[in-house]
Structure 1
Amino acid sequence: MHVLVPLDDSDPARDALEHAIETYPDAEITALHVLNPPTALYGASSQSSVDRLIDLEESAAEELLESAEQLADEHDASVTTELLVGSPARAIVSFASENDVDQIVLGSHGRSGVSRVLLGSVAESVVRRAPVPVTILR
């Protein structure tokens, strides 16, 4: 079994990874982080600013994926990590489709109402488009 756990730097994402490790102890688990460049580039005034923002985003992503590996170590498990660039929901669904993923375990921030409409919901989009079952944890 192959379980995909998309990560951002949030408690629900960490909880989702921990849930996947505990629930699927014999599974291959992939922790995936998606860099979304348009948000990183907002407000950049020069190419050097853009490059610096991208470097900061990549460094933060690498630290996040290292913390996922440490969490797995704490549970005597292992995870594979992946870093992609693009729209988070699309990248998650594409990765699941192209890598024989059997289950997606995803943390949700639990937004509702206006904030969900304005900000969109990665979890909702993944649920609607995923080719495999999705477990959402709050």
Structure 2
Amino acid sequence: MSVLVPIDDSDPAMKAVEHAAETYAGDTVTLLHIINPRAGMYGDEALYAYESILESKQQAAADLFDRASELAAEHDCSVQTESIIGFPARDIVSVATDEDIDHIIIGSHGRTGASRVLLGSVAEQVVRRAPCPVTVVR
């Protein structure tokens, strides 16, 4: 079974990794991190500092993968890692489709009300668009 776990630097993402590792112990799980280089960049900063900001985000992704891999290893689950530049919800679904993923396990912050409407929910968008079953972990 091919399992995809999109991760960011949040507690719900690490809970999703742990859930996947427990559920698919002995299997290989793919951890996916989407680097959105425009997130947190405004105005001229986006134009002049793109390369250094991208490099910083790639290093942060490597550290994130190390942390998640250690967590998965505690449950005898091996991981593959993939990091791409893009937009989280759209590219999670694209990877799942392109790589013929059987199951996605994703963390959710559990936002409700106005914050959910204003900020959107990557997990909700993935659930609506994914080509396979999705488990949402809070």
The alignment's TM-score, normalised by the length of structure 2, stands at 0.93
Identity of aligned residues (%): 54
* Structure 2 unaligned residues grouped into runs of 5+: none
The 5 A counterparts of 1:1-138 are: 1-45=1-45, 47-138=47-138
Contact in 1 for aligned 2:5/2:20 (Cα 8 Å): yes
1:109, distance to aligned residue in structure 2 (A): 0.1
Q: Distance in 2 between matches of 1:126 and 1:46?
A: 27
- State the number of aligned residues: 138
Q: 1:73 to 1:113 in 2, by over 3 A?
A: same
Contact in 2 for aligned 1:36/1:88 (Cα 8 Å): yes
Cα shift readout 1:45-70 (whole Å, capped 9, x = no counterpart): 37442222111111111111121211
Whether the 8 Å CA contact 2:21–2:76 is kept in 1: the answer is no
Contact 1:5 1:30 in 2 (8 A): yes
Q: Is the 8 A contact 1:3 1:29 kept in 2?
A: yes
Are the equivalent residues in 2 in contact too, given 1:21–1:77 (CA < 8 A)? yes
User: What CA RMSD, in Å, does the superposition of the two structures yield over aligned residues?
Assistant: 1.5
Whole-Å separation in 2 of the counterparts to 1:34 and 1:76: 25
